[in-house]
Amino acid sequence: MGYPNVVDQCIHPTHKEWFSSLASSADPAATLYLYIASSTSNMLSDMSDLENSMVSIINVFHKYSGHKCHLKKADLKDLINNEMSHFMKKVQDSETLDQIFTDLDQNGDLEIDFQEFIALIAMVTSACHDLDRPEHR
């Protein structure tokens, strides 16, 4: 399984430094990173539903970003339309796509990295949670 490699390739450079600076400390985040990076495929069969969902998010991102670890505008459109069609309206016009893309592209480099992509997942998941709360039924 390529998951630990994917984490290694795509983790943000600043985070990578941060993690390595904490590597010898008792910080839980550093421990988590080291755990993920050094785990074998045994980990994958023991994962919880939540952990499986996290891996699914990573895998979907890479299905559309490939090894470059960035989504171009067309990649983002395909991902939303193919993978999020029950939760988001299909993106059909370039104006809507431009708007979503610009909102997500926090550093303005005209690519969506994983950190920026996860913000979309967080927003949509949060919106679903709000709709699913009993007082909204």
Applying CB under 5 A, the site for Ca ion has a residue count of 4
DSSP 8-state code for residue 111: S
Nearer to Ca ion, 22 or 57 (CB): 57
CB 4 within 8 A of CB 38: yes
Q: Least distance from C-beta 118 to Ca ion, angstroms?
A: 12
Least distance to Ca ion, CB of residue 23, Å: 27
Residue 33 or 117 having the CB closest to Ca ion: 117
Measured between alpha carbons, how far is 40 from 3 in angstroms, rounded to an integer? 9
Are the C-beta atoms of 90 and 81 separated by less than 8 Å? Answer: yes
Q: Which of the residues 82 through 121 are near Ca ion (CB under 5 A)? A: 105, 107, 109, 111
| Cβ 105 to Ca ion shortest distance, Å | 4
Residue 82 or 107 with smaller CB distance to Ca ion = 107
Q: Cβ(13)–Cβ(115) under 8 Å?
A: no
Beta carbon nearer to Ca ion, 78 or 105: 105
CB of 111 to Ca ion, least distance (A): 5
Q: Give, rounded to a whole angstrom, the gap between the first and last alpha carbons of the chain.
A: 41
Smaller CB separation from Ca ion, 75 or 111? 111
Shortest distance in whole angstroms from residue 15 CB to Ca ion: 15
Q: Which residue intervals of 1-137 are DSSP H helices? A: 3-10, 13-22, 28-38, 42-45, 49-65, 73-83, 94-104, 114-132
Binding site for Ca ion (CB under 5 A): 105, 107, 109, 111
